[in-house]
Amino acid sequence: MRTTVPATVAALLMISTQACAPSQESEHLMIYAAAAVKTSLTEIIEDFEQSTGHTVDVVFDSAGATLRHYIEDPSAGFFITTPSRIDGAQQEGSIPNGTIIELGSTVAGVAVPPGTTPPDISTADNLRAALLAADQIAFSDPSRGATVGNHFMTVIEALGIQDEVLAKAVLAPNGVETMRLVLEEGVAIGITQSVEVLQAHPEALAGGFPGEFELRTAYSLWQQDDISPAAEALIDAILSPAGRALIAAEGLEPPRE
């Protein structure tokens, strides 16, 4: 489902994709990306396909799973995940050296079903009480390389409630599914990136973790040094002023200068 964006952004995005339209025959592209950019990247890809004639398949998943998908299918040409994962993969030789371009960042947050009273999570004690009071808590499976899922495990351990939370945990493959559980299944609390909460339903965001547990995550695009003109054209659309404006409009904070 397409999201509603300002008309000026949509118009500029269409112009930018038309400007980078390749002249060769249409090409099919495969892209892997962290779910934090799902809404904005979907919008960019739809306009890109319409303007260029190329087709794109994109798989959205957790940051860690996205990297694994690319390693298994390097023909994708580029992917979007966290800079730390890109750096680690390059250092260990899982991927070659390439170009890394930061897209933006977000903080880990707490989601609740819209229409319910959000819990006070402004302090560690309040967060602890809110987690103990919830009958179910959804978050991305840490074993799949979920950034927030792994962080949340350290939070509940520090709060001394790991056993209680895990006893009522609902593990999701990624943040998109976490939000589906909150919005469609009525799970009391969802833990995921704030940008994923905002993209799913702005009224679902209860807030970020209190200061000592705050987690800010950046997301970057990594590209091979030698990719097809069609892939280059899609990257140009993503990094164009209109593409970056759309990414920011969907909740990912622009890179800090």
pLDDT per residue as tens digits for the range 220-230: 999 998 899 99
Does 123 score more than 50 pLDDT? yes
Instruction: Give the C-alpha separation, 128 to 160, whole Å.
Output: 9
Residue ranges of E strands in the chain: 28-34, 55-61, 78-81, 99-111, 137-140, 169-172, 189-193, 205-208, 216-223
| pLDDT tens profile 26-46 | 899 999 999 999 999 999 999
How large is the average pLDDT for residues 98-123? 96
Residue type, 232: E
How large is the average pLDDT for residues 243-254? 93
Does 180 score more than 60 pLDDT? yes
**What pLDDT score was predicted for residue 257?**
64
Does 199 score more than 50 pLDDT? yes
Q: What does pTM read for this prediction? A: 0.80
Does 20 score more than 70 pLDDT? no
**DSSP for 21-43?**
--SS---EEEEEEEGGGHHHHHH
Strands 216-223, 78-81: parallel, antiparallel or unpaired by DSSP?
Answer: antiparallel
Does 11 score more than 50 pLDDT? no
Instruction: Give the C-alpha separation, 42 to 48, whole Å.
Output: 10
Residue ranges of E strands in 150-188: 169-172
Instruction: Give the C-alpha separation, 16 to 247, whole Å.
Output: 14
How large is the average pLDDT for residues 58-67? 93
**What pLDDT score was predicted for residue 25?**
80
For 99, other C-beta atoms within 10 Å of its C-beta total 13
**What pLDDT score was predicted for residue 3?**
40
- Among 79, 145, 140, smallest CA distance to 108 is for 140
Domains of the chain and CATH, by start: 7-105+217-249 (3.40.190.10), 106-216 (3.40.190.10)
Greatest C-alpha distance within the chain: 60
